[in-house]
Structure 1
């Protein structure tokens, strides 16, 4: 982070300097935190009031840890910190809006920084990593760490960028927090990707169309410094076809499409999913500005899942608009990084475990089943699926659809964890009544039951994938499985 002064922070947050540290100490800050456990010296702490925790109560601990500049919205706490004497206190109406305002100003005052954004129902973080790999081949690139894509995560990402960063890849999520327009307003990207529109957040938006409109609001950030802006989309998704986009957005921006259709700017074909050994495909494209001829290139990715062919194509298409050839983009993706809890493979002495516990949707659950069916392993294929949250009124049907699909892929063992996931087993059982062979089905009410019993049910040579919504914390189950597999 580039150092900023207390006066700069007050102006950026639209706050009032309630107190200054005695003697003008700690007049600048060079890092920002919203978690008291993450504060550092010369830092700035925002006392966020969340649904469960009011961070004002951590202020004494924050100061004790060496952070002497705080933004607060509670008048009583402002007075308490003022009495301490060695704390800069900035009082605002709302600390959440304040951190967003400061992030916006910080970015506005960094005009030379180029920025791109990634959003979508599924694949945001994986695609962000692909874009980062492509852009890093030419530019000093920064990115969203992990999945810090909310009204809090985006400011923390912005403040955490190295001062010499040339281009930033920022993931933008959407759910219960701020509107997309407010999130994009902090970033104002010159280019953006929408990966796909799926079933996630149906509880919030109700329909795919409304969700698509919300995601496409990412285009409201285009136009900084007179730039036209470019939107890269997976047009295999109906709501991301150019005609649909034009009907549901405003503004003048270019649209670049990737997908399997003949009219796509970047056409994916010949997909060969080799399970945990990666995926191969062909990428075809026509001439474009800066390139007189098109091309047909083979792409080999060291990541799991055929769906990553689309994510990689999105990254390559965006990179091409920013001066990186398709050939160089594909070369860069040969070493793409895999995130924690996203298709991480652990080979134990007894069996193999794929940790994909970061999050889940019906589409990604089915993709996980495809991974198992396409992996060349001697043992059984085992899917351990937990609850998918935030699916709204259609939750039960969507869970059942995953169970039904498990029979289509020839799954050997289906394990469910949680109350909602019980509908996955119901879907499998109902489908088996049509005459299809059903997998062995094991159901647990909660993670504790699974941790206690499941390791003893697994056999030598099994290939196991574990997946659920983030709230299920099934990464803890993965730890148990890996430990037991190595005993």
Structure 2
């Protein structure tokens, strides 16, 4: 079956699904395969649960006319997304970066949805499967699409741009993330800049943080919209304060967010600038930013008894960990940091974990608890440092009942699942 015919069938369906546990009536099920599963085996179950069609790539699982056999399910999903994107012809804003992608995407969506019908990436579905799913979630009512793109190796952003064909793009920053795949920070810059390469080659628009020298230099000659507090920007957004939450000034308005950390200023500024570009009213921009509350373990502020918790446990890398600690030091009163291993650092893992250990020791933080094999191997003779090889060791040893009127920072890579600390409080 060619893509045009498959797209006609797709338009009969409510949505696309790849998990039979989440099937809804009249979905189109794509039988993806992984290292430990074969989606073809679940095609019949998907149809019985209400799916209108099931796309498979193994003939032996074709049990009805509703099962559509293709050469490769994943490639077909991607090709369908490309076709659908052309069918809709909706403006697409793509964003990537080492840190802050999802928060920035949520802020941009909050701002633009004040004026437009937007469709944005759900959660962090930002890879070779998530990007197609995001595109396929858009319909004729969508006025602007917002697509988050993640990458852990070279040519990945290039491939995702080939699928989404963005009209606009923004890179939050370049940091020490996924060094195992990119090889170095220079590799990160090259890999993330594949978005710039696509946009500039196709004469599309780039949003640029004028306070970031790398972004400014990388986009010379581009059709760009620059924001920040430098003199050459298209729109000026001035940082005011980050205690306790980030506040900024824009067109005479004071905007007070519910986000902690001065590192979130760039994320907020990007959303304001993009709102400005798309002519969202100033008061609507202010309303959107001020009412955005972070979720999903990203810079969440949680009150437990007399303690305040900064839960930033969705993910971590050396750049974001460094920024989080510098911000945490500014908190008043007793402070305890609970930090988990940072993953995907390859040969740099030992050095980067030692750097964070040294930084935490040097800061005005009462105690830092390190959890994970990498942090356990870091050297420190400070009495302010406690090291645990595993979460279970930490859980069985540390007594949280002694804590009163304390501020906690909880941060680590996703695989550490440090949100479990909340259960111990």
The normalised TM-score by structure 2 is 0.90
Q: State the Cα deviation string for residues 373-411 of structure 1 (Å, max 9, x = none).
A: 2233x4x21111111011122121111221222234311
1:34 equivalent in structure 2: 18
2:215 equivalent in structure 1: 240
| Cα shift at 1:220 | 5.2
Structure number with bigger Rg: 1
Q: Tell whether 2:211 aligns with 1:230.
A: no
Which of 40, 47, 61 is matched with 1:63 structurally?
A: 47
Residues 150 and 183 in structure 1, CA contact (< 8 A), matched pair in contact too: yes
Residues 154 and 182 in structure 2, CA contact (< 8 A), matched pair in contact too: no
Measure the CA separation in 2 of the matches of 1:27 and 1:98.
Answer: 15
Q: Tell whether 2:83 aligns with 1:105.
A: yes
Please, which moves more after superposition, 346-355 or 120-129? Answer: 346-355
Measure the CA separation in 2 of the matches of 1:162 and 1:271.
Answer: 39
Which of 256, 265, 276 is matched with 2:225 structurally?
A: 256
Measure the CA separation in 2 of the matches of 1:30 and 1:131.
Answer: 26
Measure the CA separation in 1 of the matches of 2:125 and 2:36.
Answer: 19
Relative to structure 1, the CA distance from residue 357 to residue 88 in structure 2 (aligned partners, 3 Å threshold; closer, same or farther) is same
Q: Tell whether 2:45 aligns with 1:89.
A: no
Which of 156, 162, 186 is matched with 1:185 structurally?
A: 162
Measure the CA separation in 2 of the matches of 1:57 and 1:48.
Answer: 10
| Cα shift at 1:186 | 2.4
Q: Tell whether 2:295 aligns with 1:332.
A: no
Residues 300 and 334 in structure 1, CA contact (< 8 A), matched pair in contact too: yes
Q: How does 1:18-417 map to 2 (within 5 A)?
A: 28-74=12-58, 78-81=59-62, 84-85=63-64, 87-111=65-89, 113-161=90-138, 163-175=140-152, 179-219=156-196, 221-222=198-199, 228-241=203-216, 243-246=217-220, 253-259=222-228, 261-266=230-235, 269-274=238-243, 277-283=244-250, 295=251, 297-325=253-281, 328-376=284-332, 378=333, 380-417=334-371
2:395 equivalent in structure 1: 451
Relative to structure 1, the CA distance from residue 330 to residue 262 in structure 2 (aligned partners, 3 Å threshold; closer, same or farther) is same
Aligned-CA RMSD value: 2.8
SS of 1:29's partner is coil
SS of 1:130's partner is helix
What are the ranges of 5 or more consecutive residues in structure 1 without an aligned counterpart? Answer: 1-5, 18-25, 247-251, 284-294, 431-437
Measure the CA separation in 2 of the matches of 1:439 and 1:124.
Answer: 36
Q: State the Cα deviation string for residues 142-200 of structure 1 (Å, max 9, x = none).
A: 21111111111112222223542211211111125972122112222221110000010
Please, which moves more after superposition, 26-35 or 49-58? Answer: 26-35
Measure the CA separation in 1 of the matches of 2:74 and 2:413.
Answer: 25
The normalised TM-score by structure 1 is 0.79
| Cα shift at 1:222 | 4.0
Relative to structure 1, the CA distance from residue 268 to residue 57 in structure 2 (aligned partners, 3 Å threshold; closer, same or farther) is same
SS of 1:97's partner is helix
SS of 2:193's partner is helix
Measure the CA separation in 2 of the matches of 1:462 and 1:217.
Answer: 44
1:287 equivalent in structure 2: none
Count of residue pairs the alignment pairs up: 425
Relative to structure 1, the CA distance from residue 267 to residue 202 in structure 2 (aligned partners, 3 Å threshold; closer, same or farther) is farther
Relative to structure 1, the CA distance from residue 407 to residue 80 in structure 2 (aligned partners, 3 Å threshold; closer, same or farther) is closer
Measure the CA separation in 1 of the matches of 2:230 and 2:252.
Answer: 15
